[in-house]
């Protein structure tokens, strides 16, 4: 598990969360778009762009629910129990 801090790009509320190592294939060497659902950090939904070192590179505000659901389903395929643990 890796600890990362996620900051909402809209309201700036933040939380540190644990991300499972299995969620990111380090062999790919690319960026992962991690969907953050409403209620996980704040009342907004957005996407955190994370590199293979588990550093947050950027955030994307997603207005289209279909696009958000696409990334949510793609992330769920990498790990079956997608559950954030806050501390």
Please give the structure tokens belonging to residue 53. 């070192």
| 39 torsion bin: left (phi>0), alpha (psi -120 to 50), beta (else) | left
pLDDT reported for residue 36: 92
CA distance 41 to 25: 24
pLDDT reported for residue 25: 60
Q: What are the tens digits of pLDDT across the range 5-56? A: 999 999 999 999 988 877 766 555 578 888 999 999 999 999 999 988 889 9
Q: Hunting for tokens 């954030």 — which residue is that? A: 84
């Amino acid at each position: 598990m890796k600890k990362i801090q996620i900051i909402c790009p809209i309201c700036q509320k933040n939380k540190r969360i644990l991300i499972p190592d299995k969620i990111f294939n380090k062999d790919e060497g690319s960026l992962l778009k991690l969907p953050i659902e409403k209620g996980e950090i704040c009342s907004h939904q957005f996407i955190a762009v994370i590199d293979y070192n588990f550093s947050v590179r950027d955030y994307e505000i997603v207005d289209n629910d279909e696009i958000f659901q696409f990334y949510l389903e793609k992330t769920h395929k990498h790990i079956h129990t997608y559950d954030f643990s806050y501390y």
